[in-house]
Amino acid sequence: MKNNILEAIGDTPIVRLNSIGAEVESELFVKVEYMNPGLSVKDRIAPLIVEDAEKKGELKPGGTIVEATSGNTGAGLAIVSAIKGYKCVFVMPDKMSQEKIDRLRAYGAKVIVTPTVALDDPESHYSVARRIVEETPNCILANQYNNPNNPESHYRMTGPEIWRQTGGEFDAFVTGLGTGGTISGTGRFLKEKNPDIKIVGVDPIGSILYGLFYGETDPEAGSYKTEGIGESFKPNTLSFENIDEVVRVTDAECLLMARRLAREEGILVGGSAGGAVAGAVRYAESLEKPQRIVTLMPDSGMFYLSKIFSDEWMVANAFLDEEEIERAAAPRSAS
């Protein structure tokens, strides 16, 4: 029995993919992070961020936790706040799904929605969050983009879990690039256990991280639809030190793969997970010898029902046409 819901964080399962990736010789496995209480990988970082602020005396009883979030970190922090009695204020860009906004409000958090603009714009979710902290007593900014407890939580928790669950018998770890906490912390642990394990990042076209990793100017940097991966700047929590390769994926690949995972594997995940799996398949296609590849899937598809899993939204945004919807609805032959 658990003393509270925080003790249920972690030990998420690793599952073999049987349909997706069947065309490659490598074995593909996914770590299903929506099995965490807040339905995402971000549950892992919230307790350590809050505990560290408490130890430093930065957060006192009755205080307020503020964060600029795409939704999942906010949910993790809201769960910790519910247990510990803190107030929460979350600032989100308006490209995020309504489900993510409603979820945070369900936990009792105050949610402020800002325009999707550059981070240094005074109206960005990051700028607004910092301004709230400056104006509010007994208040901290969780600051997932700069907080070393973000990658540290994955070094302590996610990496050891993957190593234990696989017995160390795998060749590559693939995950999306965002704040960089997951790949930096997990990658550091796995490289310490076995330097031959390949650490592969996945970045959506439109993000600048692929170009930064390879030291290139990316002419395609700009906007993109996929939530939860990619950035317009390099977070301090992202270290390239243990990353061997970065693979790029399109919005369409991310979103269509998420739909395939639901329909072919029974795994309902978001676009960042779709991107990670699409990236893992692309990485596998580049290999000369078959490998065992573990991919981390960050969150649940429940937060994208009005977007990724809405045929109307997918058609309106040119990711699907009517003929593709009809083909997808046709029954698949049993394998």
What is the side-by-side strand order in the sheet with 245-249? 14-16, 27-32, 292-297, 172-176, 198-204, 245-249
**What is the three-class DSSP state of 152?**
helix
Active-site option among 42, 191, 198, 225: 42
d(CA 258, CA 269): 6
CB-based burial label for 84 (10 Å; 0-12, 13-18, 19+)? middle
Neighbours of 159 (CB within 10 A): 21
Query: Strand, helix or coil at 29?
Result: strand
Helix axes 181-193, 159-166, angle to 10 degrees: 50
Q: DSSP string spanning 305-320?
A: TTTTT-HHHHHHTTS-
The answer to whether residue 234 is catalytic is no
Q: How far apart are CA 64 and CA 164, in angstroms?
A: 36
Active site positions, annotated: 42
